[in-house]
């Protein structure tokens, strides 16, 4: 059993191993299981990319997915997350992929179940597989991370993507700056030399410009700026994109609010790697599933795996 709960628990060599495996899968490599393994995708919060790409990754690896929808499950009768996971374990799940609105929902599960827990996003906390797919996208583009400048722009306080990416990118040798509305900025996440920079400087001097969605669902106080006001003040406008360095790229974890954090016409422009990130998500999730299930085997379960 090998959990993936946060990026901070991953060593640099584990990150590199996952990225190498993801690229191996992307290049057509395979990994097969000699015995059926079962996973369940538990999405307590909405998702398109993470949920669908885990489902594709599971099918590509030949893993059996236990159909599970929160809306038709006994969660609706009050069953807790803990009892839901213990139930899935009892009926044969080897891993569960969980997205939940509560920060660190996994603390109540860790050490109390033999199924591998893969965090698909917890509240404002962590989104490890998003960070890993972002790293793969950046590595494909620049060959590595040392000396790169990455600007993460937008709703920093409520973004699990900002937290996970700042952690991994800084440890891999990149310079990370945050930008966006100061009221959505949080001094607590200024760690490891990450600093705040005004948007015009951040856009013009970075190798990677990563925009974030405004996480309205996590705001206690309603944002009273119009979409146009936000776009002009903190968005990647057409004018700002013209100041970007040659060879620099645009990223966004999506979903995108076009003409808010990024101009509509830039979403699919030459610099954009936004849909490439989504493609990479499938292969990164294959690598994460492989890591989780390989460790199940080493943990004593009768699972025989081989890499072709």
Find out whether 67 is annotated in a ligand binding site: no
Identify the residue whose tokens are 């990677």: 208
The CA distance from 173 to 117, in Å, is 28
Cis ω for the linkage preceding 255 (within 30 of 0): yes
Shortest distance in whole angstroms from residue 281 CB to ligand CP: 8
Footprint of ligand CP on 163-222 (CB under 6 A): none
Shortest distance in whole angstroms from residue 289 CB to ligand CP: 16
Identify the residue whose tokens are 């999506």: 254
Q: Is 144 in the site for ligand CP (CB under 6 A)?
A: no
The CA distance from 251 to 275, in Å, is 9
The CA distance from 277 to 133, in Å, is 6
Q: Which stretch binds ligand CP (CB under 6 A): 10-18, 81-89, 170-178, 248-256?
A: 248-256
Helices (H) and strands (E) in the chain, counts: 9, 11
Cα three-residue angle 69-9-17, rounded to 5 degrees = 90
Closest by Cα among 181, 247, 170 to 212: 181
Footprint of ligand CP on 112-131 (CB under 6 A): 121, 130
- Taking the least distance from each CB to ligand CP, the nearer of 49 and 301 is 49
Shortest distance in whole angstroms from residue 306 CB to ligand CP: 31
User: In the stretch 27-56, what mask flags binding to ligand CP with x, by CB under 6 A?
Assistant: --------------------xxxx------
Find out whether 213 is annotated in a ligand binding site: yes
Shortest distance in whole angstroms from residue 277 CB to ligand CP: 8
Question: What residues does 250 pair with on adjacent strands?
Answer: 209, 272
Shortest distance in whole angstroms from residue 301 CB to ligand CP: 29
Parallel/antiparallel/unpaired status of strands 208-211 and 249-251: parallel
- Taking the least distance from each CB to ligand CP, the nearer of 1 and 285 is 285
The CA distance from 210 to 151, in Å, is 6
Q: Is 255 in the site for ligand CP (CB under 6 A)?
A: yes
Closest by Cα among 141, 223, 198, 216 to 174: 141
The CA distance from 153 to 201, in Å, is 12
The CA distance from 101 to 44, in Å, is 7
Shortest distance in whole angstroms from residue 242 CB to ligand CP: 27
- Taking the least distance from each CB to ligand CP, the nearer of 160 and 290 is 160
Q: Is 276 in the site for ligand CP (CB under 6 A)?
A: no
Find out whether 2 is annotated in a ligand binding site: no
- Taking the least distance from each CB to ligand CP, the nearer of 31 and 106 is 106
- Taking the least distance from each CB to ligand CP, the nearer of 29 and 123 is 123
- Count of positions on this chain that bind ligand CP (CB under 6 A): 9
Q: Which residues bind ligand CP (CB under 6 A)?
A: 47-50, 121, 130, 253-255
User: Residues marked as binding for carbamoyl phosphate?
Assistant: 49-50, 99, 127, 130, 254-255
């Amino acid at each position: 059993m090998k959990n993936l709960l946060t990026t901070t628990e991953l060593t640099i060599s584990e990150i590199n191993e996952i990225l190498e495996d993801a690229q191996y899968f992307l290049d057509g490599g395979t990994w097969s299981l000699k015995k059926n393994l079962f996973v369940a995708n538990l999405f307590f919060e909405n998702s398109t990319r993470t949920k669908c790409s885990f489902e594709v990754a599971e099918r590509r690896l030949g893993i059996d997915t236990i159909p599970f929808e929160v809306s038709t499950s006994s969660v609706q009768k009050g069953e807790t997350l803990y009892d839901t996971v213990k139930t899935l374990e009892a009926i044969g799940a080897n891993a569960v992929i969980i997205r939940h609105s509560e920060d660190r929902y996994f603390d109540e599960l860790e050490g109390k179940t033999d199924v591998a827990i893969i965090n698909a996003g917890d509240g404002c906390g962590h989104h490890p597989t998003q960070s890993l797919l972002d790293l793969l996208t950046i590595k494909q583009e620049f060959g590595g991370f040392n000396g790169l400048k990455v600007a993460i722009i937008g709703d920093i306080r409520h973004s699990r993507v900002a937290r996970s990416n700042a952690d991994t990118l800084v440890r891999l040798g990149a310079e990370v700056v945050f930008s966006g509305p100061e009221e959505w900025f949080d001094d607590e996440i200024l760690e490891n030399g990450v600093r705040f920079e005004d948007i015009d400087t951040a856009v013009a001097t970075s190798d990677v410009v990563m925009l974030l969605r405004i996480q309205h669902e996590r705001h206690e106080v309603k944002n009273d700026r119009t979409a146009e006001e936000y776009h002009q003040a903190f968005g990647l406008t057409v004018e700002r994109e013209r100041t970007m360095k040659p060879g620099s790229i645009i990223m966004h974890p999506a979903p995108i609010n076009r003409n808010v954090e990024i101009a509509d016409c830039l979403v699919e422009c030459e610099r954009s790697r936004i849909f490439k990130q989504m493609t990479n998500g499938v292969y990164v999730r294959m690598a994460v599933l492989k890591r989780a299930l390989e460790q199940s085997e080493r943990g004593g379960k009768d699972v025989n795996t081989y890499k072709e």
